[in-house]
Amino acid sequence: MNKIKATYIYLFLILISSIINYVLQSYIINDNIYIDYFQNQLGYERILKMVNEQKKWAWLNYALLPVIYLLKFSLITFWVLCGTIIAGYKITFKSIFKVVLVTEFVWLLPSFTLIIWFGLIETSYTFNDVQYFAPLSLLNLFNASQLDPWLIFPLKSLNLFEVIYLLVLALGIKKIMKKDYDSALKFTLPVYGSALVVWILFVTFLSINLGA
């Protein structure tokens, strides 16, 4: 990790994420899925117009991805940096940012899982199946269609991938802190855990207010 520049990791992550996004939009959530989902809500011509408009502006998703990633990684890095300052560690923003970059690859696993599941295993599915697909999360313990909309995000967010992310992040923190793994984990758990709680509360707050 130390020998590879953060810029290369960042660009590679964007490339892989763009490919995943293309596969999802072209093969998993295709036109037929949208038509089946909206057929009882909108007319056929209206659905086709909506699908065409989405295709027309699809490039915007790819154009904004680097900006979204940069903002996301910077916020996480800043939060961790604040934690290091409070804990009395002297670590640079740059070194933390690189750790956050590498750790982000963990979040490619759910996307790969979704593509494999609906692309090869459960090939007969609906838009809701994809929307509520959250492997190894608390959402699997409930019938998502019967839950209040604002509960979906918190339950999806509490999953095994978050645990994996935390453990990998702690491993990266260990290397730049030059501490043992237990010490790094004890530092990372409250720092990242508090960030996750704040994010879940923020999104849930928006869901409740926008859905009201």
List the chain pLDDT tens, one digit each, 212 residues: 456 788 999 999 999 999 999 999 889 988 888 888 888 777 778 888 888 888 888 888 899 999 999 999 999 999 999 999 999 999 999 999 999 999 999 999 999 999 999 999 999 999 989 999 998 999 999 998 889 889 999 999 999 999 999 999 999 999 999 999 999 999 999 999 999 999 999 999 988 887 65
Give the pLDDT score at 51.
83
pLDDT recorded at residue 129? 92
pLDDT of residue 211: 64
What is the structure's pLDDT at 52? 86
User: 58 near 25, Cβ under 8 Å?
Assistant: yes
Which residue pairs, CB below 8 angstroms and at least 24 apart, start in 158-167?
A: 159/110, 159/134, 159/135, 160/136, 161/106, 161/107, 161/109, 161/110, 161/136, 162/196, 164/106, 164/109, 165/103, 165/106, 165/107, 165/192, 166/192, 166/193
- Of 99, 107, 108, 106, which is closest to residue 77 (Cα–Cα)? 99
pTM over 0.85: yes
Backbone angles phi, psi at 211, to 5 degrees: -90, -5
CA 210 to chain centre: 21
pLDDT single digits (tens) 19-65? 999 999 889 988 888 888 888 777 778 888 888 888 888 888 899 99
Give residue 39's pLDDT. Answer: 81
Q: How many Å apart are CA 9 and CA 108, to the nearest integer?
A: 14
CB burial of 16-34 (b: ≥16 within 10 Å; e: otherwise) equals ebeebeebbeeebbeeebb
- 10 Å Cβ neighbour count for 47? 18
pLDDT of residue 145: 84
Residue for token digits 């978050």?
162
pLDDT at 200: 95
What pLDDT does 114 receive?
95
For the residues of 122-169, what is the DSSP string, one character each? Answer: --S--HHHHHT--TTBGGGGS-GGGS-HHHHHHHHHSBHHHHHHHHHH
